[in-house]
Amino acid sequence: MHHTSTVEIYDTTLRDGTQGEGFSLSLQDKLQIAKALDNFGISYIEGGWPGSNPKDVEFFELAAQLEWKHAQIAAFGSTRRPHVAVDEDPQIASLLAAKTPVVTFFGKSWDLHVTEVLKVSLEENLAMIYDTTSYLKKHGRKVFFDAEHFFDGFKANQEYAIQVLGEAVRAGADSLVLCDTNGGTLPSEIISIIKLVKEQYPQANIGIHTHNDCELGVANAIAAVEAGASQIQGTINGYGERTGNCNLTSVIPIIELKKDIKVVNDLSHLKSLSFLVDDLSNNPHFLRMPFVGKTAFAHKGGMHVNAVQKLARSYEHIQPELVGNEQAILVSELSGQANILMKAEDLGFPLQKGSQEALEVLKKVKEAENEGYSYEAAGGSLELIIRKVMGNYKEYFLLDKYQCQYTLLPKEKGAEPICEASIKLRIGAEVSHSVSEGHGVIHALDLALRKSLLPFFPSIEKVHLTDYKVRILNGNDATAAKTRVLIALGDGERMWGSVGVSDSIIEASLHALLDGIDVFLQRQQK
């Protein structure tokens, strides 16, 4: 079998991923994920479709000003419109305006779609693909052509599908991305079809974009690599429309550990990247996810502890640490250390493996996670735990009491409901008490908290809430369920997150808020 020596990973979580139900991201989330993908060592990050919405346009404006260590940012769009000159097409103009080094655009490769959906002649479709490729190349972009419905098209009319690719090749496309848009192709078909494509265009770089409708997204991407593809497109955790896209959190470790082809900087960050994307999109972690799920390396052992540990190894196809996961035979209080050490390092508080501090932090984190806390997107709250254990923490304020109430006025007066919060803090020897009104719980609490703290710490003026996410943890307890609140804050230079968990949404919100401000104050002290 032909074997590629290099494979590049192309992430489309921020574009194709967001087309999945229940998956949406704020601009801030998109930037945070893009940064994490870049650090992880992903080759290409598709930021969105600049022609489709203002959020994506803004993402590209900011992305153009940022430094990217490793990744190239890609904008996504389609061919020029039928019977419109390529330099007069506003959608093509928006692709260039995104100022990305890479532009990926899709075109039809299935004759049925050309004549029945686009309703143009087969020749015009070829011209659209040729014109778009050559125009983008002329403007100095790296160009990836996504051949939409390629495998279905190839099966329906092989000659035309091959001709479509030929136009992109002739116009200088850097990659031909073969898309299994409906997700219905089998690995054996992927291999035989890519081999035929390679025979026609031996010099071309082939990419693969698979969907998971038959649960073959990952298998098909691996098959494509075995047939000579050198680019894999997919999303973190397999988010995407319908049943999702090729799951990069599975495909990446398979390519690195089973095929021995290096594709990212450090595979051990895989689990935390997977959890970050779940937390920022406010989705639960899928326990049984291969490689990164909580139960991926969990063993139920009824045997003696030592024997289970020895045996468990023989029931694991890889070492869990390689992907940042851990073996779960809840025995050793040392388990899970690697993840915490990695995060402490990232936050600038290196801990020694096996040290008293590391064990103490681990114990506190495990207890908190048991309560429902999650620290992937809440580095601020984790930093406070580490600071307290390491004696690098100063108590600036203490919560004395707080109250929060809603006032609902009669509807006919057309008045908005008002939330009133009062907070009493001890700051050193003094007591600061303030009351504020806001649009909702978090708004009122935030205003009251600021009012109390500002006279003592004027610098918190700079701190702003940028996002607020609520997740009900054990939904089956209905009204007795626990609530986890994640908030994101920024001071114009840095962004950080904090988390609070409680039976009460008000208390969970307040604790997340207090942590968020506390982190800022800790970082102020030199």
Give the active site residues.
Answer: 304
* 402 strand-pairing partners: 423
CA angle 102, 103, 104 (to 5 degrees): 120
Please give the Cα distance from 233 to 74 (Å, whole number).
Answer: 12
Q: Which helix (H) or strand (E) holds 499?
A: strand 495-502
List, as one string, the DSSP characters of 224-259.
Answer: HHHTT--EEEEBGGG--STT-B-BHHHHHHIIIIIS
Rounded to 10°, the helix 337-347/356-371 angle is 100
CB 409 within 8 A of CB 415: yes
Please give the Cα distance from 147 to 180 (Å, whole number).
Answer: 9
Tokens linked to 80 = 């020029």
Helices (H) and strands (E) in the chain, counts: 17, 14
- Inter-CA distances, 171 with 114, 127, 166, 413, 427, Å: 20, 10, 9, 65, 68
Coil, helix or strand for 446? helix
Tokens linked to 200 = 């026609």
CB 289 within 8 A of CB 237: yes
Give 351-358 contacts, CB < 8 A, sequence gap 24+: 351/386, 351/390, 357/389, 357/390
